[in-house]
């Protein structure tokens, strides 16, 4: 009896331990995030920390019931394609991407794994989704730079630098949605007769950025710049803002990443709102929502960020109208 009691006790203990282990071993979900900046970049550190916090608020904690893998894709289209293929081979539960170029690269590798884009431009025209209301595929997400914003960028440039007579539109046609055509058409339609003339400035390599902008600056006075949403210029924001500053050209940018790195002014969907929306969709997908039925959403609020130091270096005085409307003034 003593031996039998001991065996029963041991068995019961074993079942209890096993039961506790089973209850505590929650299934771990996996997310891969494809990033267009080096992983040690300050912007990456800040944005990922923000996302981790928002996910934790929703019950998803990295290292517990969630595993997040960050992947930076280098500098070339070949690097991006290779990274996209590697991420898909890992078979995560969700792939989170930033730009249109990253979205296209990942969707070229998979039509099964849910893909969540954070800042894709023209997702329908780019073929990422069938419609905004019902994506009807494996991708959905958010867009904070609709082509209609081109009008706002020109308006802001003229407001802060009213002497602007020539506008250079800077982008890489290989990494800008529709090779920039949608934005350019909107820009051309925006300017009234006798308004500033537009000139495209194509930049394809980091080493060519300064020279391309210098070529525009050398054609005469009254120049200003508008940068289109583009993963290439985003990755090379410091080179872009340095060239504009060196050549004394006022510029408006599509992301606050540029103003944080010395650029004059940016206007885009509010970053905090975008982060909240991304976290909410990650949560929904991880809990079983069908990505094909999650509508693409556009920013509901926008953020004007002005770098006062950059304005002073250009000899520009910020009008009261801009000061009042700015959500952030960097001094």
> What pLDDT, on the 0 to 100 scale, is given for residue 26?
60
Residues 6+ apart with CB under 8 A from 288: none
pLDDT value for 120 = 86
pLDDT string in tens for the chain (331-residue length): 444 443 334 344 443 334 444 444 567 999 999 998 889 888 889 899 999 999 999 999 999 999 999 999 877 889 999 999 999 999 999 999 988 889 999 999 999 999 999 988 788 888 999 999 999 999 999 987 777 888 899 999 999 999 999 999 999 998 888 888 889 988 888 777 778 899 999 999 999 999 999 999 999 999 999 999 988 899 899 999 999 999 999 999 999 999 999 999 999 988 788 899 999 999 999 999 999 999 999 888 899 999 999 999 999 999 999 999 999 999 8
The pLDDT, as a whole number, for residue 5 is 44
pLDDT for position 43: 83
The full set of domains in the chain, from first to last, is 29-144+270-300 (3.40.50.2300), 149-269+303-330 (3.40.50.2300)
Q: What is the pTM of this model?
A: 0.81
- Residue 63 in contact with residue 31, Cβ under 8 Å? no
Output b/e per residue, 123-149; b: 16+ Cβ within 10 A.
beebebbeeeeebebbbbbbbbbbbeb
What is residue 38's predicted lDDT score, i.e. its pLDDT?
Answer: 87
Give the model's pLDDT for residue 20: 42
315: how many CB neighbours lie within 10 A of its CB? 9
Distance, in Å, from the CA atom of 193 to the CA atom of 266, rounded to the nearest integer, reads 26
Q: What is the pLDDT of residue 269?
A: 85
Note the pLDDT of residue 286: 97
What pLDDT score was predicted for residue 23? Answer: 40
């Amino acid at each position: 009896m003593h031996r039998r009691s001991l065996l029963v006790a041991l068995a019961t203990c074993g079942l209890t331990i096993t039961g506790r282990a089973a209850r505590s071993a929650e299934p771990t979900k996996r997310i891969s995030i494809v990033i267009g900046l080096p992983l040690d970049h300050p912007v990456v550190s800040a944005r990922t920390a923000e996302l981790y916090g928002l996910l934790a608020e929703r019950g998803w904690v990295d290292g517990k019931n969630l595993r997040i893998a960050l992947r930076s894709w280098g500098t070339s289209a070949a690097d991006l394609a290779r990274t996209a293929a590697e991420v898909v081979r890992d078979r995560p539960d969700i792939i989170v991407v930033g730009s249109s170029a990253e979205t296209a690269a990942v969707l070229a590798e998979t039509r099964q794994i849910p893909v969540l884009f954070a800042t894709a431009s023209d997702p329908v025209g780019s073929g990422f989704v069938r419609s905004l209301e019902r994506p009807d595929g494996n991708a959905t997400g958010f867009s904070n730079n609709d082509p209609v914003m081109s009008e706002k960028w020109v308006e802001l440039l003229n407001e802060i630098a009213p002497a602007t007579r020539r506008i250079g539109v800077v982008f890489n046609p290989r990494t800008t949605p529709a090779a920039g055509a949608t934005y350019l058409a909107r820009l051309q339609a925006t300017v009234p007769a006798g308004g500033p003339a537009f000139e495209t400035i194509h930049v394809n390599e980091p080493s060519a950025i300064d020279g391309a902008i210098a070529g525009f600056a050398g054609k005469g006075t009254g120049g200003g710049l508008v940068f289109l949403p583009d993963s290439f210029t985003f990755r090379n924001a410091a080179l872009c803002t340095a060239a504009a500053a060196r050549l004394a050209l006022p510029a408006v940018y599509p992301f606050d990443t540029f103003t944080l790195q010395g650029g004059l002014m940016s206007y885009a969907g509010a970053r905090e709102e975008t982060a909240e929306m991304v976290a909410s969709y990650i949560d929904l997908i991880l809990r079983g929502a069908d990505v094909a039925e999650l509508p693409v959403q556009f920013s509901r609020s926008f953020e004007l960020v002005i770098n006062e130091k950059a304005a002073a270096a250009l000899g520009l005085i910020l009008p009261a109208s801009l000061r009042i409307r700015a959500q952030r003034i960097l001094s």
